């Protein structure tokens, strides 16, 4: 993922942390499913969606700023 494309420069560090959190939670969710631990899979997948939402919010902020700067 190109974090420069999806986050403001001042949020690049947070975006990187969140990106790796997403990957970790994705892995944990898959492992939970393989272990038949549905409750933990549900918990991790909820956290995963929250992290993805946070990345989307950062991306939207970047897009809106870029659009504003272009006018």
Complete DSSP assignment for the chain:
--HHHHS-GGGHHHHHHHHHHHHHHHHHHHHHHHTT-HHHHHHHHHHHHHHHHHHHHHHHHHHHHHHHHH-
Domain presence at residue 41: yes
Domain presence at residue 1: no
Q: What residues make up the domain containing 54? A: 13-61
Domain presence at residue 3: no
The predicted pLDDT at position 39 comes to 98
Domain presence at residue 28: yes
pLDDT at 71 over 90: no
Question: How many domains is the chain built from?
Answer: 1
User: Would you place residue 36 in the very low, low, confident or very high pLDDT band (cuts 50, 70, 90)?
Assistant: very high
Mean pLDDT, residues 17-34 taken together: 98
User: Would you place residue 32 in the very low, low, confident or very high pLDDT band (cuts 50, 70, 90)?
Assistant: very high
pLDDT at 15 over 90: yes
Mean pLDDT, residues 28-49 taken together: 98
């Amino acid at each position: 993922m190109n974090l420069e494309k999806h986050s403001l420069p001042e949020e690049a560090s947070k975006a990187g942390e969140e990106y790796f959190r997403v990957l970790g939670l994705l892995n944990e969710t898959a492992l939970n499913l393989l272990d038949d631990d549905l409750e933990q899979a549900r918990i991790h997948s909820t956290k995963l969606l929250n992290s993805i939402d946070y990345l989307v919010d950062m991306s939207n902020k970047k897009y809106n700023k870029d659009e504003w700067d272009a006018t």
